[in-house]
Chain A
Amino acid sequence: MADLEIRDLTVQVEDKVILKGANLTLSKGEVHALMGPNGSGKSTLANVLMGNPFYQVVKGEVLYKGQDLLAMSPDERARRGLFIAFQYPVSIPGVTMSSFLRTAVSARRGYDKELMPVGEFQKLLKQKMDELKIEPAIVSRYVNEGFSGGEKKRAEILQMAMLEPEIAIMDETDSGLDIDSVKVVSDGVNRMLERAKGAMGILLITHYSRILHFIKPSYVHVMFDGRFVVSGGPDLAEELEQSGYEGIKAQFEVIAAEVQAEGAVRRAGKVFWVAH
Chain B
Amino acid sequence: MAVTNQLGIDPDKYKWGFHDPEKYVYKSRKGLDREIVEMISSMKNEPEWMRAYRLHSLEHFQQRPMPVWGANLAQIDFNDIYYYLKPTEKKERSWDEVPENIKNTFEKLGIPEAERKFLAGAGAQYESESVYHNLKEEWEKLGVIFLDTDSALREHPDIVREYFGTVVPPEDNKLAALNSAVWSGGSFVYVPAGVHVDIPLQAYFRINAQNMGQFERTLIICEPGSYVHYVEGCTAPIYTTDSLHSAVVEIIVKEGARCRYTTIQNWSTNTYNLVTKRAVAYRDATMEWIDGNLGSKITMKYPSVYMVEPGAKAEILSVAFAGRGQHQDPGGKVIHAAPHTQSVIVSKSIAKDGGRAGYRGLVKIYSGANGSKSAVRCDALILDDQSRSDTYPTMEIDEQDVSITHEATVSKVSDEQLFYLMSRGVKADEAMNMIVRGFVEPIVKELPLEYAVELNRLIALEMEGSVG
Contact = CB atoms under 8 A, between A and B. Distances in A.
Interface of A: 50-54, 73-75, 77-79, 83-84, 86, 89-90, 92-95, 100, 103-104, 107-108, 142, 159, 163
Contacts of B422: 51, 73-75, 78
Contacts of B427: 75, 107
Contacts of A52: 419
Contacts of B439: 93-94
A95 B437 contact: yes
B417 interface: yes
Contacts of B437: 94-95
Nearest to A50: B423
Contact of A95 (B2, B414, B423, B441): B441
Interface stretch (B11-19, B47-55, B290-298, B428-436): B428-436
B426 interface: yes
17 contacts: A51-B423, A52-B419, A54-B419, A74-B422, A79-B425, A90-B414, A90-B417, A90-B420, A92-B417, A94-B438, A94-B441, A95-B441, A103-B434, A104-B421, A107-B427, A108-B424, A142-B438
A52 B424 CA distance: 12
A78 B423 contact: yes
Interface of B: 1-2, 414-417, 419-428, 430-431, 434-435, 437-442
Given A51-B422, A54-B416, A75-B424, 15 more contacts: A50-B419, A53-B419, A73-B1, A73-B428, A78-B424, A78-B426, A79-B425, A90-B414, A93-B439, A103-B426, A104-B421, A104-B426, A107-B426, A107-B427, A108-B424
B434 A78 contact: no
B420 A89 contact: yes
Given A78-B423, A104-B424, A104-B426, A53 B415 contact: yes
A50 B426 CA distance: 13
A159 B421 CA distance: 11
Nearest to B415: A53
Contacts of A89: 420
A77 B425 CA distance: 7
Contacts of B424: 75, 78, 100, 103-104, 107-108, 159, 163
Nearest to B442: A94
A90 B438 contact: no
Contacts of A94: 437-442
A142 B435 CA distance: 11
The 3 closest A-B pairs by CB, nearest first: A94-B438, A94-B441, A107-B425
B263 to A, nearest CB: 21
B219 to A, nearest CB: 35
A75 B424 CA distance: 6
B339 to A, nearest CB: 35
A106 to B, nearest CB: 8
B442 to A, nearest CB: 7
Contacts of A95: 434-435, 437-438, 441
B428 A75 contact: yes
Nearest to A81: B425
Contacts of A100: 421, 424, 434
A142 B439 CA distance: 11
Given A52-B419, A103-B430, A75 B438 contact: no
Given A100-B424, A107-B426, A163-B425, A93 B419 contact: no
